Structure 1
Amino acid sequence: MKLKFDGFIVALIGMILFAYIYPDIAAFLEGKFLNTLISIGVALVFFFYGLKLSFIEIKDGMKNWKLHLSVQLFTFGLFPLLVLAFRPFIHTETQEQFWLSFYFLAALPSTVTSSVVMVSIARGNVPAAIFNASISGLVGVAITPLLMHFFLDVQEMNVFTELYIGLLFEVLLPVILGLLIQPYWGKWAHKYGTALSRFDKGVVLAIVYSSFAESFMSDVFHSVSKYYLIGLFIGVILLFFTVYLIIYLLVRYVLKFNREDQISGIFCGSKKSLTHGSVFSKFLFANNPKLGLYILPLMIYHAFQIFVVTIIAQKMGKQYEEELLKRK
């Protein structure tokens, strides 16, 4: 079984190293230059995101409402509740920081591209995966900040004004504009989908660099121990497998979906979007020097979910092909 090499994960690691060696670049013109470029990049990412959507596909996708509702509840309900269960055990500032980074991960929408690719490899319900992953991103614009609002220190920032205004102009309006233009430019967006995907990743890399450069300049990582970082890795792995197992049991034995819908439910419901997380963190943790620490679990989860789900998807796809051969 061959595993596809994901150069983006290597690029993420490389960007962190680059931020460590050259953090001063982020401070050029007091950080306004890089922040402006990122803001423009984010707006374009979600404009292209809207171009790839289709009102017809959204309308047709709503027919399988039971699967769609389940995936959104897994994404914005099951995930946060699992992390919330550990809230009573938080007593120190370091523990609060550790917990909040995981809660931020849990509150994020599902990822689009990798979910669809993995569902396709496993021979699952691809149209349902496209619908769920796409809708999840739109729902997350409203739900993620709301879930985070209860646990953020907002003394210097009004979440429901500055944050939502920022998301409105950089995320929601570009998506709406893309949707409106989709009948005219939609084919262009799909034709150059690979190039647009690379652009998305480039914007994410810029946000990651900015976040970690600020953290390195503030010596944030010197304030945490190696045990803290080890705990992040262990916590991410445990969270992924716990969510994956619960969703698997629910879609198979409780909801009793067919094989294709089970795959879509598991893969879409257990994924988290690094693109949305990088963008949302820019608003949720604005001017916070510890931003690098808050998005670190998300980066680990992103790499881990791709690695593990690729193995699972390839195994499911192989089993499906073997079953078809047996029927013939």
Structure 2
Amino acid sequence: MRLHALADLAALIQTSPGIDAASAAQAAVRQDSLTKPPGSLGRLEELAIFMAGWRATPRPVIKKAQALIFAGNHGVCAQGVNPYPQDVTQQMVLNFQRGGAAINQLCIASGADLRVVPIMLDTPTADFTTGPAMTSEEMLSAMNIGASAVDGNADVLILGEMGIGNSTVASALVAAFFGGAPPDWVGPGTGSDAAGIARKCAAVSKGLALHGGRPALETLSRFGGREQAAICGSILAARASRIPVILDGFICTAAASTLHVAHTGLLDHCLVGHVSAEPGHRRLLKELGKRPILELDMRLGEGSGAALALGILRAALHCHNGMATFAEAGIS
């Protein structure tokens, strides 16, 4: 999948597959025949049926799980919105590549193949308080990087991000999409104090005055960043290949919300791994109509909550495929 212009999205929407209702219905019938009271496994049953519908088979399995972490830097950091320098983005990418981060351990534990994709870290996006963060061409390039990173043989895709300053970008995006005042969306991110949060709110206010009221993808290009655009591209590529997606926390979900605003239904193949402790995330999930799998007071980012949720998804499918039916067990 490759986008050459923003207009290509309309054609992609027309050709993107939907859920396979027949496979989902067969999976639901199987769930009701397993050796348990109907509905007694709760959300696990829903997840198994979800996977059946999107993988178009009543007995879905996860042979290959892919985790993609996109990294970018942001010009809005010039407004003092983060307590750490942008060099930390590159340093953390090296830590991912060496296996030293939380996401490395969680991918090992949950059985996911991790790939880290840094995007032009030496060239931050422009400061959205003074102009557009990206041109349309830069945004499309980042989206295509995200799309090309998706392994078409994967059975599920985990998405995450890394980028100093990107919680400010996420707050600006969702404020532009869903309204509300900046304090409704802005949180501490990597640990901003009250003064830092005030600077973040001021930056978001300036950005909204400059860029508000535009279509979804243009809004993404105006606020940035490249890793958010890459997340959108990977979601679209996954949809084209019927690969269910597990989104991570606030920043990842905020990026994905661009597609929801562009066309309701583009996130139907996406689960949300957890609800972040970042205050805007719960509000955003309500706007999207998404129910998180986990709630563990995490706010790390880098795909960590999504990787943990993969373990729950695997458990749901083990029960779905491995349990005996009442007939097989000889239970009348």
TM bracket, shorter-chain basis: under 0.3
Larger helix proportion of the pair:
1
What TM-score, normalized by structure 1, do the two folds share?
Answer: 0.25
Larger strand proportion of the pair:
2
